[in-house]
Structure 1
């Protein structure tokens, strides 16, 4: 069942995000529904605040105040469990039909990361396997796994041109 779990967005009273998350976790555990409600996140970011005196400090702040992201299998039972928690005003969606986040939205929010195993190094000859430059050959100039980027120098029209691609758009040349 966990395979059919999707990410949804819950709307809460502002300032109730942590209480909602804690309450749902407690209800899920009490009812043995850990296989139905898998994960909850309150996206946070580190921000530097500068006071009037010029002193700066790092503080953690909610990226989306009033919202909680929840990965769950949507059934009548899970819908009612989540919907009836104090502080929850509803799901983001149309009327009573929650709309799941798309794969791209989940990745953009950083909720789930797809790990890509890089089998090439700087200086290796690679072949571009996807995108407008598919089938071009090049040499890896730089790899940035945390950004999912690789820079490859490709020879086009007799000129060396650096192109930035995603890690899975290139593969080692055999």
Structure 2
């Protein structure tokens, strides 16, 4: 029986665009060959972003490491063989036939980026806005429709922008959703 100290994360190289297919094939091979006690997790790290293009926002899923899959496993001959001979796998990352495991810090960084220790992405995507501080923007809709002002701060985790607008003759900071803005 494998102990937690035997479990390590390894990087597996795949053909370009085959990451999800390799994950599905490997999950099936693990079940078929009874390797659940040696190969624990297969992960294709992805990140969701909200992108604004032509005034419309849409959710985009982007692979963090194209052509690579992360596998948590015990490095022994049999599990190595199962992973290495999965259709779409070109090999492990390492020197020669000696795969190099990822450090705990590297795994923690990846898990933080994809949104959790279990590798599950939360419901909050990051926002990819084509605005910068100092850009002059115009509000397209809402109570400040038609207001024009410079961007003072960008809040990408909230998907909002703070900008300066003149209200009753005084400069006021307003926080507004980036989908309601257009760059001038």
Write out aligned runs for 1:11-160 (5 A). Answer: 11-51=13-53, 53-110=54-111, 113=117
Write out aligned runs for 1:153-168 (5 A). Answer: none
Structure 1 unaligned blocks of 5 or more: 115-174
Count matched residues: 113
Moved beyond 6 Å, runs of 4+ = none
Structure 2 unaligned blocks of 5 or more: 119-184
| SS in structure 2 of the partner of residue 110 of structure 1 | helix
**TM superposition score normalised by structure 2:** 0.58
| SS in structure 1 of the partner of residue 27 of structure 2 | helix
C-alpha separation between the residues in 2 aligned to 1:90 and 1:37?
16
**TM superposition score normalised by structure 1:** 0.61
How much is the aligned-residue C-alpha RMSD, in angstroms?
1.8
